[in-house]
Amino acid sequence: MTIDVLERKPPAETRLKIIDCDIHPTMGSLSDLNPWLTKRWQQHIVTYGEFVRQGLAKTLSHPRMQPAVSRADAWPPDGGLPGSHLPFMQEQHLDANGVAFGVLQALRPNGNSQRNLEFGAALSSALNEWQLEHWIRRDKRLKGSIAVTQEWPEAAIKEIERHAGNPDFIQISLPPRSDEPLGRRRYWPIYRAAVEHNLPIGLHVSGVNGHTSTASGSPSFYIEEHHNNVQSMQGLVTSLVVEGVFEEFPSLKVVLIEGGFGWVPALSWRLDHHWKKMRDEVPHLKRPPSEYIREHIWYTTQPIEEPENPAHLIDLFDWIGWDRLLFSTDYPHWDFDDPHTVFKVKLTEAQKQQLFYGNAAKLYGLG
């Protein structure tokens, strides 16, 4: 529908200062990566294309709520996909919502899920250059997440080392749905590199690993699939903790992006309960699981939990730790959280500052 609208701009003095920890830049087609792909991979795209472990590799596993998974009002007026046009993103989101820093989550193409590992590594590498060229160098507010192929740790480390030390990249991006649970030792070299370079691991919901997304089989509906992101997060947190990743890498920081947080207290309580009885099975764990979770893991807020009694959100924050929550919008995706309406409960100015800005500034060294 074509429409005429007035743009709303809140007065400058009432604006919140925001770090948005989840913004999606979009590319038109894979050929946008050609400047950073060798002839071999350019030709590979034309001849073979992507190969991930699901049918219909070019689409998502379940039909989404909205076209392009996006807000209906996020299509750039000059054409192209939502999230593909920086000036429109600036006007509609970065400027309008007072975003001081935005953390890019460039999810497609998903080099991390390609069966052809060399191709995956080439895609990841090109995706990082694309983030720099099209977004980060054009808007100082935007920061990148380093895309890597976690199933080929040597290539992942090479990619991390290429960008480590560049303040434009502030974390390493891994998919929660990896081939094996992320605590497994095959992934530890990546964590070692993360710690060496003082980069958090950002886990934005993603990954096509060929496993069903629930332990009881494939979901029928998008509403199920969307919720199952929580299961992926619970599985990987449990794996990271129980395999001893945080004992081995005591300074490792992990950010769970778009996987909710309401489940964190329950998981922590339950793991502690089991640990008290079965700690001789995992003697490498020196402390209750909840302590590793409390110390090493951060959570982005979108899509926000909406308890029937909004005040219960405060209980959740108390249990999880106010210093562990990072505001995010998911712009331009359809389940976007608006900074002005996201928390349907009264917060003090200090709490707002912490959630919208302070926690992320401290974690990522911004501002």
Footprint on this chain of another protein (rule: CB under 8 A): 1-6, 8, 65-66, 71-73, 220, 334-338, 340-342
CB of 188 to another protein, least distance (A): 39
- Phi/psi region, residue 321 (left: phi>0; alpha: psi -120 to 50; beta: rest), is left
Cα distance between residue 182 and residue 174, in whole Å: 9
* DSSP secondary structure of 311-326: THHHHHHHHH-GGGEE
CA nearest to 18, candidates 345, 297, 342, 346: 342
Q: Name the residue nearer to another protein (CB basis): 180 or 335.
A: 335
CB of 229 to another protein, least distance (A): 16
DSSP code for 305: P
CB of 5 to another protein, least distance (A): 5
- Phi/psi region, residue 32 (left: phi>0; alpha: psi -120 to 50; beta: rest), is alpha
Cα distance between residue 112 and residue 178, in whole Å: 8
Cα distance between residue 109 and residue 126, in whole Å: 10
Q: Name the residue nearer to another protein (CB basis): 249 or 336.
A: 336
Please state the φ and ψ torsions of residue 237, each to the nearest 5 degrees. Answer: -65, -45
Cα distance between residue 153 and residue 193, in whole Å: 10
Q: Name the residue nearer to another protein (CB basis): 163 or 333.
A: 333
Q: Name the residue nearer to another protein (CB basis): 73 or 154.
A: 73
Q: Name the residue nearer to another protein (CB basis): 96 or 164.
A: 96
Q: Name the residue nearer to another protein (CB basis): 65 or 311.
A: 65
Tokens of 143: 């920061």
CB of 308 to another protein, least distance (A): 11
CB of 342 to another protein, least distance (A): 7
Q: Name the residue nearer to another protein (CB basis): 191 or 336.
A: 336
CB of 116 to another protein, least distance (A): 36
Task: State whether the Cα torsion 151-157-158-163 is positive or negative.
Answer: positive
CB of 171 to another protein, least distance (A): 27
